[in-house]
Amino acid sequence: MIKSKIDKVTSFEKRFEKINTVIFESSEVASKAAAAEIATLIKKKQKAKEMCVLGLATGSTPKRLYAELVRLHREEGLSFKNVIAFNLDEYYPMEPDAIQSYVRFMKELLFNHVDIEPGNFHIPDGTLAKKDIASYCKEYEAKIDALGGIDLQILGIGGNGHIGFNESGSLPNSKTRLVTLDHITRVAASKDFQGLYNTPKTAITLGIKQIMQAKQVVLMAWGEGKSSIIKASVEGPITEQVPASYLQEHPNSVFILDKGSSSKLTRVSTPWIVEKVEWDEKMIKKAVVGLALRLEKAVLMLTEADYIENGMSDLLTEVGDAYDINIRIFNKLQHTITGWPGGKPNADDSNRPERANPAKKRVLIFSPHPDDDIISMGGTFMRLQNQGHEVHVAYQTSGNIAVADDEALRFSDFVIDYNRSFGLDNRKSVEIYKKATEFIKNKKTSEIDIEEVRNIKGLIRRSEARATSYYVGLTDEQIHFNDLPFYETGTIEKNPPGEEDIKITMDLIEKIKPHQIYAAGDLADPHGTHKVCLDIIFESLKRLKTKSYMKDCWLWLYRGAWQEWDIEDIEMAVPMSPSQVLAKRYGIFKHQSQKDGVVFQGSDSREFWQRAEDRNKETATKYDELGLAHYAAMEAFVRYHY
């Protein structure tokens, strides 16, 4: 399947792309294609009575791949008896039973569920004495060489282009070794270690040389967060600063991408440069907006020469002159801007993003974490409430793992003081506090919080969410805590969404019968929770689609603190004045546990309110640069047709 897709890539595309690159509709479809490739190789080796040597990767990227391999084993009889696996890397130091251990990762996701022989999978040992690592690494490579090398190597890619833990600066002849992790890599991993302070600084990794000697290499990448480094690896020069770029010289390598990770490749971002395109409304808007931003011109200032000199002469030939096209796109952009996200009553709504009727709408805002509502669409949230709509907010998960241990103890201590001050029975509170204190005092990075600690942290997030909703003007009847079960594992790794998650969501939608639903479409969320929450909403809406009230229900997708919709994709832009920006900031401040060095900061050192303001300001600035009205900030939405 992958090979057939590669064959369809045109020679013109290959002029830009120096590595075979296959783009799939989604990471799910792509993962199944990669699993099919592996399964075909395993079966081919079985027929030849040969061992199949696989190089395997860890991290979030290959999870669906391993799930599909397990399914193929269970449902289609794919045997792993002839498979020998070598993993790319392991943190150092690292105990094999730690939550963050790649030994545990591989066993729980793959090895424990297939019939691979126990002695046939190898993962670098994170418990070695440092003096023994060099000899161990030589032996690790010798085992691979003795088997004739790796038949197929699976790779992910880091934000700085690392493959395995071969960071920027790794040379093409680098061998398996102990490496110092880049700060960017550690920050990205810090979510698994409850903060950067606990994140290992070193790791053992297979070297570039051994990876390049693999007979076939499959690199997978998902999401827009990887789009820049994918473009650099595929279309840029070969450089030690982007180790993945070395794969340009591999005779049999392929990048398997989803739409998000491929979005900055030339054939995706400016396809008219690569091949003849169909100039539909979406493509025209994408091309004109992109051209204006690239040339730093207002849309109405673009000339025919601008179109011709930037590979868009076909657009002029097929659609018309530059002046008419400019007016057409300017009007489309203008019509996305509205100060009435719930629709403007008694107004002509033919050129507005939302309907005028009903004048008072029932609105349901889904917030994956307890602060996504105010961070991502706080200005719109307040506008909807102030304009008289019946606004409900549903906090989909407890968000308890994002609370620091000392915050949990501080609030528990407050409860004890509160009870003591008012003469209330304090015995149970003291008992819980002592148990929590003892656990946190002796807590290892590999341990999951005990139930009492998780509950305290969940209560903190709940109280903050409620405070934000009160600030906006909601009553208790309009605030809903779903506490979806898939989230409650106590770790970053969540359970797959289940029927109970869907039932809880469906029941709430049935109860409210909304005219508008707002949901987080931020699939670049590094935690992954946003995507699971969105999938649950999609499935719920799919099952409720035949209900009469659903005909009048529109779904609007917002994005979180991590990134914004591209201008050409935005269908509703809600402007904010300086005072509204400030009001939103104060709403975000209600989430005190998420200020001043939060547990999951990500690679961005700014606080969430700063990220939100900068992102909203950037959207407004782009509209201004395109020649539209100038606002302090804007929140953006895309309508999803389910």
Which residues carry out catalysis?
Answer: 167
Nearest to 277 by CA among 320, 315, 304, 303: 315
Q: What angle, 0 to 180 degrees and rounded to 10, lies between the N-to-C axes of helices 578-589 and 451-472?
A: 150
Closest to 144 (Cα-Cα) out of 118, 121, 170: 121
Tokens of 301: 């200032």
Amino acid found at 545: K
Whose CA is closest to 559, among 524, 587, 608?
524
Instruction: Provide the H-helix boundaries in 249-393.
Output: 266-269, 271-274, 281-295, 304-309, 313-319, 322-336, 372-386
Please give the C-alpha separations between residue 125 and each of 33, 88, 100, 128, 476, in angstroms, as whole numbers. 31, 11, 13, 6, 53
Q: From start to end of 152-213, where are the E strands?
A: 152-155, 177-180, 202-205
514 in Cβ contact with 363 (< 8 Å)? yes
Residue 142: burial class (beta carbons within 10 Å; 0-12, 13-18, 19+) = exposed
The CA distance from 230 to 222, in Å, is 10
How far apart are alpha carbons 191 and 600 in whole angstroms? 5
With beta carbons less than 8 A apart as the criterion, state whether 458 and 450 touch.
no
DSSP conformational letter for 163: B
Cβ-Cβ contacts under 8 Å for 514 (sequence gap 6 or more): 361, 362, 363, 364, 392, 553
What is the biggest distance separating any 2 CA atoms in the chain, rounded to whole angstroms? 83
Give me the sheet containing 89-92, strands edge to edge: 89-92, 202-205, 177-180
Q: Report the distance separating Cα 600 and Cα 604, nearest Å.
A: 10
And the tokens for 558?
């917002």
Q: Confirm if 484 and 504 have CB atoms less than 8 A apart.
A: yes
Give percent helix, percent strand, percent coil of the chain, each to the nearest 5. Answer: 50, 15, 35
* Secondary structure (DSSP) of 593-621: GGSSS-TT-TT--S-HHHHHHHHHHHHHH
Helix (H, G, I), strand (E, B) or coil at 387: coil
